[in-house]
A and B are shown apart, each in its own frame.
Chain A
């Protein structure tokens, strides 16, 4: 579980996060939604410890991040997995090398044990014949799956994903969403996903927080998000023509 209490983050004169308080439950896919520029990525980077908030606390299962030493913070980060928006795979390494990297860095496993673990996670993300390929030789969807495999290879307690299905076709996007949700349940991970994809919200959003201009505007589930009276959330959720029509049909049906 990750508890966030009143965090503020600024860059120079620009106040990005303006006192966000929330809680992300273990074993659930928690979604952070909001328009571009609402502070989602900064919020996620604060959760990852890449940015330090000026005010407020982030608590990971009882450990307050601000109270940890640099070394303890690095140890905590070894319990985190992150799927970056652009996958952030290491160009100079093969798919296998990318996934094996955290094991080589932080475990004392033998080569054979590491290979078994890599084979297992790559199979888990449905990538069985890409071991020797370089990131430049695989598709965007495959890169995302490799990034997910790398993120879960160390059995993380916390999984963070920054727009995991951006740039993917709808079918692959759904596969990636479902994969993340399955892994969250299977390994009882605390998962936080940044997205503005409403399909993801519908499919896997067990808990959703909506950010607007650095504030937490709304919090609820994927069922509640489509029924809320909050104008900012409604404007965001029903901004696409498809969702507008779905909503209209729903209202007509109800009347």
Chain B
């Protein structure tokens, strides 16, 4: 399927408008939920860390450090990707699946359009903007942690910020973005596959959406392990 996506490309002016539409739909349309989840997850990570570090020998700045590491390394790239597998993935599967059952994909093929390129390629390109969404999630997650720490009385603002700056390794951000790009490709292609090759009617569209979410999540989690082992191990 992936090979066919890149063959016989659609005319650039049409493709450009499709890509912009998909960026709006897949990325900007998801920012609200990403910001909401990242903010509260960051807050919860801070509270949990603070509650588990109750020894007076451990500096409070460690709460900021732990929040930063957790959000940048795992919560922003992986947790957000699982959310996106549900939101964006099921949208992709159901929209392509509906086109399949209503013969709109056949209509494209009959016209001589490479339907895989027309439908899937813009989604893959649009998902290249996904690291931007994850960067927002990182920022908002840490911000949520700071709010919870400072205003909840778990870590003074100065200590939290000191912890954020402690032992910062830039490669950890690179590692997170490498994971994000791989996950973006997975989120665009696996749901497209399930939508494009589904058989049946409206009921099967729902089933395909669920199956695609399960498989996308499984692949993300396995790749998360492999990439972590390769890049940080």
Q: Do A and B bind each other?
A: yes
Given contacts A86-B102, A86-B103, A88-B102, contact A80 B10 (CB under 8 A): no
Inter-subunit contact A77/B8 (CB<8 Å): no
Given contacts A105-B10, A105-B11, A105-B14, contact A82 B107 (CB under 8 A): yes
Inter-subunit contact A90/B104 (CB<8 Å): yes
Given contacts A71-B8, A104-B14, A105-B14, contact A84 B103 (CB under 8 A): yes
A54: shortest Cβ distance to chain B, in Å?
Answer: 20
How does the 8 Å CB contact mask read for B1-19 relative to A, with 1 for contact and 0 for none? 0000000101100100000
Residues of B contacting A76 in the complex (Cβ-Cβ under 8 angstroms) = 112
Residues of B contacting A250 in the complex (Cβ-Cβ under 8 angstroms) = none
Residues of A contacting B109 in the complex (Cβ-Cβ under 8 angstroms) = 50, 77
Interface residue? B106 (CB, 8 A): yes
How does the 8 Å CB contact mask read for B100-142 relative to A, with 1 for contact and 0 for none? 0011101101111110000000000000000000000000000
* A84–B111 alpha-carbon span in the complex (Å): 12
Inter-subunit contact A50/B111 (CB<8 Å): no
How does the 8 Å CB contact mask read for B183-199 relative to A, with 1 for contact and 0 for none? 00000000000000000
A129: shortest Cβ distance to chain B, in Å?
Answer: 24
* A90–B103 alpha-carbon span in the complex (Å): 10
Output the nearest chain A residue to B114 by Cβ-Cβ distance: A74
How does the 8 Å CB contact mask read for A26-67 relative to B, with 1 for contact and 0 for none? 000000000000000000010011100000000000000000
Given contacts A71-B8, A104-B11, A105-B10, contact A91 B104 (CB under 8 A): yes
* A50–B103 alpha-carbon span in the complex (Å): 11
Output the nearest chain B residue to A162 by Cβ-Cβ distance: B103
Interface residue? A19 (CB, 8 A): no
Residue from B8, B106, B112, B114 in contact with A84 in the complex, judged by beta carbons closer than 8 Å: B106
Interface residue? A75 (CB, 8 A): yes
Q: How many interface residues does B have (CB within 8 Å)?
A: 16
Inter-subunit contact B112/A78 (CB<8 Å): yes
Residues of A contacting B110 in the complex (Cβ-Cβ under 8 angstroms) = 48-50, 77, 80, 82, 160
* A182–B11 alpha-carbon span in the complex (Å): 33
Output the nearest chain B residue to A76 by Cβ-Cβ distance: B112
Residues of A contacting B14 in the complex (Cβ-Cβ under 8 angstroms) = 104-105
Interface residues of B in 1-50 (CB under 8 A from A): 8, 10-11, 14
Inter-subunit contact A74/B102 (CB<8 Å): no
Residues of A contacting B8 in the complex (Cβ-Cβ under 8 angstroms) = 71, 74
Residues of A contacting B103 in the complex (Cβ-Cβ under 8 angstroms) = 84-86, 88
Interface residue? A140 (CB, 8 A): no
Output the nearest chain B residue to A80 by Cβ-Cβ distance: B110
B120: shortest Cβ distance to chain A, in Å?
Answer: 16
Inter-subunit contact A77/B112 (CB<8 Å): yes
* A76–B11 alpha-carbon span in the complex (Å): 18
* A223–B98 alpha-carbon span in the complex (Å): 41
Given contacts A50-B106, A82-B107, A82-B110, 9 further A-B contacts (CB under 8 A): A74-B8, A82-B106, A84-B103, A88-B106, A91-B98, A101-B111, A104-B11, A105-B10, A105-B11
Please give the residue numbers on chain A whose beta carbons come within 8 Å of chain B beta carbons, in ascending order: 45, 48-50, 71, 74-78, 80, 82, 84-86, 88-91, 101-102, 104-106, 160
Please give the residue numbers on chain B whose beta carbons come within 8 Å of chain A beta carbons, in ascending order: 8, 10-11, 14, 98, 102-104, 106-107, 109-114
Q: Report 18 cross-chain contacts, Cβ distance below 8 Å, ordered by A residue.
A: A45-B106, A50-B106, A50-B110, A71-B8, A74-B112, A74-B114, A76-B112, A78-B111, A82-B106, A82-B110, A84-B103, A84-B107, A86-B102, A86-B103, A88-B102, A101-B111, A104-B11, A104-B14
